[in-house]
Structure formats: C-alpha cells, structure tokens
Amino acid sequence: MRSMKKCNILKINIIKNLATVFLLLNTLSCQNKEDNKLIGELLGSAIGAYLGSSIGNESTKAISTIIGTTAGYLIGGKIVEFLDEEEITELENSIQTTLNQNVTNDSTLWESSKLKDTSVLITPTKDFTKNNFKCREYQKMITRDNKQILENSKVCRDKDGNWKKLDS
C-alpha cells in the first residue's frame, strides 16, 4: 500500500512539473517551432506517463510509466514538430470528421495549406465496443519530405458522443 502511495505521488509530481514547464513555455512571447515541438513532447510525455502508469500490476507500473513517457514524448513531438496550432486544429477536425463519417478502411487525406509536402492519411481500421460505447481504431500516416510516420490510435465515444482516446 505504501509503494502505491509513493507511485501516485510520483505521478502527480511528474504531471505538475510538466504542467509548470508547459505554462512557462506558453507564456513566452516568441514561440517558435522548437518551442511547439518541446510543448508537444512534454504534453505527450505527461499523457504517456499517465497512461503507462494506469496499466500493469504493482511490480510493472514503473516500467509501464517509463515506456508510456518515452512513447508519448516521441509521438507528441512528431506532429507538432512541423504543424502550427491552426493546422493541428484543422487536422484534429479532419480526424473527428473521418471517425464520424468514414466506414472502415475508407481513408481521408488531410493536406497542409502551409507546407506543400505535408499530409496525413487518416484511416479507420476497426470498429468495436467497449463498456457499451462505440469505439474505433484508426491509423494516421504522416508524410513530410517524403518520409512517413505511422501512428495507430484507439478512441471511444464518451457519454456526450465525443471521441476520446483510450487509455491503453
């Protein structure tokens, strides 16, 4: 029981520290791509740490937290690395529309209006149910400078009908 309390305190401290760094970076008047990438990495790390800590048993939580933090850091920095806030919002809207309207394996291509060589192919890959809520798996194939990054995600509708990323 004592180690569980320590683990929870550690998680809270990590999230508080990352939130503090995020707020400090956000208040800087001259944000640039590097700042945005760092913010994405920090937010990805915080989310990954939280998700990683919520899986596994008592003896594997620390490892899961570290793996989640690392994965979140890497993924969180990839898209933010080259998209600004406006385009991230456009991409998120395109993902929502795709999840709402497309059948499985029917893709939508989102193309950056600011970067000619940047696009994301969004493809729902599987429908399933979890806790009586409609869920979907989908892929994002991010293309930039003829390089591709594939990200897989799982989402479920919440009680209000919004798509929410699954914890694991």
pTM more than 0.75:
no
Would you place residue 94 in the very low, low, confident or very high pLDDT band (cuts 50, 70, 90)? very high
Instruction: Name every residue whose Cβ is closer than 8 Å to that of residue 23 and which is 6 or more positions away in sequence.
Output: none
What's the token pair of residue 168?
């694991």
Query: Angle at CA 45, nearest 5°, toward 39 and 46?
Result: 90
pLDDT tens-digit readout, 13-43:
556 555 554 444 454 444 444 555 555 555 5
pLDDT of residue 78: 58
Dihedral sign, Cα of residue 118, residue 124, residue 126, residue 131: positive
pLDDT tens-digit readout, 38-67:
555 555 555 555 555 555 556 665 555 555
pLDDT of residue 122: 95
Q: What is the mean pLDDT of residues 73-91?
A: 69
Share above pLDDT 70 across residues of the chain, in percent, rounded to a whole number: 50
Q: Which of 54, 53, 47 is nearest to 18 (CA)?
A: 47
What's the token pair of residue 103?
């059948």
**Helix ranges, the chain (H):** 2-27, 33-53, 61-80, 85-101
